[in-house]
Every structure is written in structure tokens, then in C-alpha cells.
Structure 1
Amino acid sequence: MKPSYETQILAALDGPGGWATGDIARQCKPMRGNNRNQHSAFIRQKLLALQSEGKVKPMDDQKPVCWVLAGGAPNETN
């Protein structure tokens, strides 16, 4: 059984630094929609839902948005 998109997104973000939405989308399978843009838009919706749950957040106020885990990556030193 394939991991859920949420699990795949959180796994992609598990590390130092941030990932752009398109980079995260390339890590998530199977692809939703007919092309990469539709798949990226779907993953962005998932990221926004995870943000509302407090699990992820934008890394900074730059465009394009890079995402990080809300609590910081477990292997990241502060």
C-alpha cells in the first residue's frame, strides 16, 4: 500500500532546509491530475491543510514559498 500524500509530504520535509511546492510534488506518488501543474496544485492544497493543522509552515516570506516542518526537523540543530 502506498503511503498517504500527507505521509509523503512530511517525509520529504524531514530534514534541514525548505522545499518548494513543486519539489515536494515530485517526491509524492502517484501523480494527481493530468500534468505536473495540476499535481503541484493538489500538493499545495495538502500543504495548506497541513499548515492549518500546525504541521508545516512557510520557511519565510519569499516567493516561491518554501515549506518546512512546523516544529523543525528532528535532525536540525537550533
Structure 2
Amino acid sequence: MFHRREPIPFAFIAEADRFRSNVAPPPRQRASAGEIAGRLLLGLTVVAGLVGALVLGMPALSVDRAAGHTQQSEASDRR
């Protein structure tokens, strides 16, 4: 940040971007085995839901190759 030639009130605010704290944050706690298992189970549930939706939706997304053929009803077959 550039320095101004004229004095400004509250100069500490202008130089706040250069401030570095000497206080370190506390170390992160490690996740317990139950938390890891819960996250894994949640992830597997989400993935299984996406795969299931894809498997169930594939017939609707597929192109019907028999669309050019006309379907005949049973009533027209009996004539």
C-alpha cells in the first residue's frame, strides 16, 4: 500500500494491512473414529443415491429405436 504525504487521522487503520499477530490459533482437534465413520457413511449414501438415480433414469434417457414402427393394438390383430 502506498504512503500518503499528508498526515491522516487514525493512521493505524491505514497501516492495518501490515499488522501480523504473534498469537497462534489453537491446534485443530483430530476427528474421532465415530465422526470419520459418520462422514464416510454420509458420503456413501450420497454416492449411492446419485448412482441409483442414474440407473433408474437411464431408460427414460435412452433413445427408443422402435419409434419409427407403428404399434398395432390387439383389436386390429383380431380382424
Provide the TM-score with structure 2 as the length reference.
0.26
Higher-RCO chain (CA-CA 8 Å, sequence separation at least 6): 1
For the pair shown, the structure with the greater C-alpha radius of gyration is: 2
Name the structure with the higher strand share: 1
Compute the TM-score of the two structures, normalised by the length of structure 1. 0.27
